[in-house]
Structure 1
Amino acid sequence: MNQCQLTIPGVTYAGPGSIEKISEIIEKEGVSSVLLFTDKGIRSTGLTAPIEALCADVALTVIDDLATEPSYQDVERVIAEVEDSRIDLIIGVGGGSVMDAAKLASIVIGADYGVRDLLKDPTIAKKYIKSLMIPTTCGTGSEATCNSIVAVPEQQSKQGIVNTCMIPDYVILDAAMIHGLPPKIVASTGVDALAHVVECFTSKKATILSDTYAKEGARKIFRNIREAYADADNMKAKTELLIGAYYGGIAITGSGTTAVHALSYPLGGKYHIPHGVSNAILFAHVMEFNKDACADRLALLCDAVYPEKYAETVEAKADYIISEIKDIVAKVQIPTNLEELGVKKEDIDFLVEAGSQQQRLLVNNCKELSLDDIRYLYNKLF
């Protein structure tokens, strides 16, 4: 066993009604002013109403106009609106884009650098404001990670900013926040979370600590995503996804995603395909490509998720995990052909070049990918 490290959120609350812990956090931290990041869709459903009510005794500023899958300029714009305000606590209520922006705000407001500078050198970051993340989807894991993903329009791709300063100080996992989640969002975010745990478990950087969270996250997600998608009122399955996604976020911080996420970034950056959908399209193809280098790891994952398969061969268990990935993507009705999403086959040269630039994640992949390998994988999507 090599030395390893895992950095996780300071305090995590989970269970029915845990949203009420906001009052306790405000009192404990001596908060007099709160900056709330969310989006108009979430706010219109009333999900933020109880949070805003719990902040009634402090100064509250709400940012709800962040672009979907925002660029770094979008994040800089909304941060500039409040950079001269005194803020004691930042709360992110939403999916990955909202929480990523909130985490960036916690290290940029009050700093002498901006988001653009962090794209060049994320090591300069420092934590200036305490943060609380409250996910409203069951998939991104952003509430647990030190990552923030932003679009970089001039590169027609996305880039991750990574620094442990962005680890949230508090997390609240309250299933009430995902009760009304539409099936389409359950599908895309749930498969994103599944990609997190499988990629982290098969990553070159996987450790005994990240493995613990990746395996348990995989068990929760593989066993519940179809039910959560098919039955909107199955709160047990949705809760398992919520916790599984959180475990996936922790696994990312200790290990890291691989070629699935790396090759998905150009799909989101240029074509604005939702992040979870981009990952779902690539997921099984990348695992099949990687299988000869990680069959033993996929078999161990199968043992953790499907112990009834324990007596089967390593090859059979690895194949079973990949077949389950395919079945899940089919069952939750995510398109698997890029042409259905407006991508043309003549765009492959761009995809290959942009995908090959995602070295932060490609170096984690259990197999080195040549340009021809990347082209082969993108071609499988048409």
Structure 2
Amino acid sequence: MKPCQLTVPGHVRAGENVIEQLSGIIEAERASKVIVFTDEGVLSTGICNGVFEQIKKANAEYCVIGDLRPEPSTQDVIRTMEQMNRAEGELVVAVGGGSVMDMAKLCAAMKGASYDIYDLLENNSLMEKGLPAVMIPTTCGTGSEATFNAIVAVPEKSVKTGIVNKNMLADYVLLDGNMIAKLPPKIIASSGVDALAHVIECFTSNKANVFSDLYAAAGAKLIFENLVRAYSDANDLQAKSNMLLAAFYGGVAIAASGTTAVHALAYPLGGKYHIAHGVSNAILLAPVMRANLEACEDRLALLEDGINPAGYGRAQSEKAKGMIERIASIVSDTGIPSSLCEFGIGLEDLDFLVDAAADCKRLLDNNRRVLTKNDIRAIYQEVIKGGI
């Protein structure tokens, strides 16, 4: 067994109505004032009302940073840190999707710091432990609640990049299916396939290990069994709760292993063309796995065995191809586009995309197959020409 490490948030609680345990967390942290991170969309649904009630139940006050934007940029971090440094509080509570949780983790660690976001982009190790943080996800995909990563867009370079530091690891995670009960099908689809990308990539990563394999395989099984149900039936709370758990498993797998070429090729799509992260990953997941097939056949076959044990007798190559077909089917069944043409991206954009993706060396180094620029170009061509 090669050396590996399992790093998870300090306290993880899952189940119906676990949000009601927030007041006890606030009391345990002796927080008299709480800083709540969220966005306008989440606020408009009323989901935060239960959080506010729990804060009041703990006899604490709160302030809300509620104008967070999707796919946050460096300028968004600077603007939010200005609010954060004006706020008083001993505890951060994030209520939202990946962008909200990433911003909350960053800002909790940076409160009062001498360094800024640009310093961290140059040297992640500068980050120190800041305020304790509670993550309450309201989507079922990013796994941000379980990771010590934060993704930030750098507009001047038209790319997104990851800041990675264990001081961003959440102190508490609350996984309550009621928080995604009214999530629109479109968001269930994109966030759910994002979680699928996490578990597939981590299982096929060069850094895959016994810990990441455990969570990635369990997450993959949950997603294949529950995503279409959660997408199709607004009342299937069990399927949605299972997807919330699967997304967390994906986050744990990322922390133990790491994503690969799917995310490397997806980052330029979000950084320059502002395609939602989950959608970018969904479009690229099957094509990248087809490109990786020869190098990942054994790993994809193992995943297929976990989903379809009745097929044990098939050849390894058949099982691996079956897994890729299963991935393509779930993207199609949840109504996610299969081509970049739908977002106005054409062959004339190839040079930028290829160069930007090739710069994501941290992720490409995790990929089992070494992808040349020509390989990357071929993958992009496939997902562009698919719509022509």
Q: Once the 2 structures are TM-superposed, how far is the Cα of residue 70 of structure 1 from its aligned partner?
A: 1.1
Q: Once the 2 structures are TM-superposed, how far is the Cα of residue 345 of structure 1 from its aligned partner?
A: 1.7
2:11 corresponds in structure 1 to 11
1:96 corresponds in structure 2 to 98
1:192 corresponds in structure 2 to 194
Q: Once the 2 structures are TM-superposed, how far is the Cα of residue 149 of structure 1 from its aligned partner?
A: 0.2
**Counterpart contact for 2:84–2:107, Cα < 8 Å:** no
User: Alignment partner of 1:93: what SS?
Assistant: strand
2:37 corresponds in structure 1 to 37
User: Alignment partner of 1:181: what SS?
Assistant: coil
**Counterpart contact for 2:35–2:88, Cα < 8 Å:** no
**Counterpart contact for 2:9–2:169, Cα < 8 Å:** yes
1:181 pairs with 2:180: no
1:282 corresponds in structure 2 to 284
Amino acid in structure 2 at the alignment position of 1:100: D
Task: Please show how residues 2-151 of structure 1 align to structure 2 within 5 Å.
Answer: 2-56=2-56, 57-151=59-153
> Alignment RMSD, CA only?
0.8
Task: Please show how residues 207-246 of structure 1 align to structure 2 within 5 Å.
Answer: 207-246=209-248
**Counterpart contact for 1:282–1:381, Cα < 8 Å:** yes
Q: Whole-Å Cα distance in 2 between the matches of residues 217 and 76 of structure 1?
A: 35
**Counterpart contact for 2:265–2:357, Cα < 8 Å:** yes
Number of residues paired by the alignment?
382
Q: Once the 2 structures are TM-superposed, how far is the Cα of residue 324 of structure 1 from its aligned partner?
A: 0.5
Q: Once the 2 structures are TM-superposed, how far is the Cα of residue 82 of structure 1 from its aligned partner?
A: 2.5
2:383 corresponds in structure 1 to 381
Q: Once the 2 structures are TM-superposed, how far is the Cα of residue 114 of structure 1 from its aligned partner?
A: 1.3
Q: Whole-Å Cα distance in 2 between the matches of residues 123 and 59 of structure 1?
A: 33
1:153 corresponds in structure 2 to 155
Q: Once the 2 structures are TM-superposed, how far is the Cα of residue 291 of structure 1 from its aligned partner?
A: 0.6
**Counterpart contact for 2:92–2:132, Cα < 8 Å:** yes
Amino acid in structure 2 at the alignment position of 1:253: A
How high is the TM-score relative to the length of structure 2? Answer: 0.97
Amino acid in structure 2 at the alignment position of 1:158: K
1:257-290, Cα deviation, whole Å (9 max, x unpaired): 0000110000001010000000011110000000
Amino acid in structure 2 at the alignment position of 1:260: V
1:321-374, Cα deviation, whole Å (9 max, x unpaired): 100100001001111111111112201100011111111111000011111111
**Counterpart contact for 1:141–1:193, Cα < 8 Å:** yes
Q: Whole-Å Cα distance in 2 between the matches of residues 244 and 229 of structure 1?
A: 15
User: Alignment partner of 1:367: what SS?
Assistant: coil
Q: Whole-Å Cα distance in 2 between the matches of residues 124 and 306 of structure 1?
A: 46
Q: Whole-Å Cα distance in 2 between the matches of residues 228 and 320 of structure 1?
A: 23
1:12-67, Cα deviation, whole Å (9 max, x unpaired): 11111100111110111111111111001101100001101211222211011112
1:299 pairs with 2:301: yes
**Counterpart contact for 1:34–1:91, Cα < 8 Å:** yes
Q: Once the 2 structures are TM-superposed, how far is the Cα of residue 223 of structure 1 from its aligned partner?
A: 1.2
Q: Whole-Å Cα distance in 2 between the matches of residues 222 and 15 of structure 1?
A: 20
User: Alignment partner of 2:270: what SS?
Assistant: helix
How high is the TM-score relative to the length of structure 1? Answer: 0.99
**Counterpart contact for 1:66–1:75, Cα < 8 Å:** no
Q: Which moved more, 1:142-151 or 1:68-77?
A: 68-77
Match of 1:348 among 347, 350, 357: 350
